Amino acid sequence: AAGAGAAAGAGAAGSGGVLAAVGTKAAVAITATAVAGTTIGGAAAYRAAQPDHSSRPVTAPTTARPKPSGVPLRIGRLTLTVPAGWRSRSLGLTKQDTANHNVTTPGACRTPKDWPGGAAWKYCPGILVITKPWSNDGRTGWQTFRRDEPWAPETDVSHVCPPDTDLFYGGGDFELVRSGLRPIGGRNAEYREWRLSCIRLTSGPEMIQKTGVSFVQRWWCLPQSKFLIVDEWNTPNLDAILANATWT
């Protein structure tokens, strides 16, 4: 698949260095944007951890989804039944990183016009399976994950917007649109859907420009098992694939 082929050339992840390209004034403007408006009404109510193994029945999605068919794909302790075109590889955040995975799905990668190279997985359809780090360990450059916010660990503006990979999620401008519990192989996962707004970096006096472009990020979080699954590409049938997963 095109996505899998492009992802195979991916380099180490982490902060993308975009701020260095636009200069100090832009860094100040972008930092101010990233810290503004991060509180969404009601989101704080979901900070408390839900148990991974709950005695309560898992709430099923309102629309019935068929049990997926396909081939087994093992990611750490989790085995998914996925279409044959799916591929999994380590993100390679560090030389020792075998815990974090990019799972590519069929579809063309969307590398930007002036792509400098590097982490190609950011531009290719698929999902991320994150088990480490859950806090900034000083090596990856990632910020601590918060369950009342979207997953956006970068410390500069390098979080790519899937609808247009020349744009970036600038931090702060997001909306919680859905929350609850969803199953991952019989375990209750905290589930969130967020709408994130995209910006364009410019060389003008404003440094950043709103675009009106947005995308939906959804994640499944198992805080006790330390599993985080992130989808920004509207991966087909992912709910059913995760619900029918198995653990080892």
Is omega for the bond preceding 133 within 30 degrees of 0, making it cis?
Answer: yes
Do residues 139 and 124 touch, judged by C-beta distance below 8 A? no
| Cα–Cα distance for residue pair 147/145, rounded to 1 Å | 7
Q: What is the pLDDT of residue 94?
A: 61
| Cα–Cα distance for residue pair 123/113, rounded to 1 Å | 12
Q: What is the pLDDT of residue 52?
A: 65
Domain boundaries, the chain: 2-247
Do residues 111 and 6 touch, judged by C-beta distance below 8 A? yes
- Show the tokens assigned to 171: 């931090």
Q: What is the pLDDT of residue 36?
A: 37
SS3 242: helix
Helix, strand counts (H, E) of the chain: 4, 11
Q: What is the pLDDT of residue 161?
A: 93
Closest by Cα among 142, 100, 136, 103 to 226 = 100
Q: What is the pLDDT of residue 120?
A: 76
Q: Is the pTM of this model over 0.75?
A: no
Instruction: Tell me, letter by letter, the H, E, C secondary structure of 163-186.
Output: CCCCCEEEEEEEEEEEEEEEEECC
- Under DSSP, the state recorded for 67 is P
pLDDT averaged over 10-residue windows placed end to end, the chain, 248 residues: 36 38 37 35 33 49 64 93 93 69 91 75 90 60 81 81 91 92 97 96 84 96 91 96 96
Do residues 81 and 241 touch, judged by C-beta distance below 8 A? yes
Exposed (0-12), middle (13-18) or buried (19+): which is 35, by Cβ within 10 Å? exposed
- Show the tokens assigned to 237: 């049938």
- Show the tokens assigned to 15: 């902060």
Q: CA distances (Å), 92 to each of 4, 139, 218, in order?
A: 15, 12, 23
Q: What is the pLDDT of residue 30?
A: 37
Q: What is the pLDDT of residue 93?
A: 64
Q: What is the pLDDT of residue 246?
A: 96
The strands making up 71-75's β-sheet, listed across from edge to edge, are: 71-75, 78-82, 246-247
- ∠ CA(211), CA(216), CA(220), 5° rounding? 150
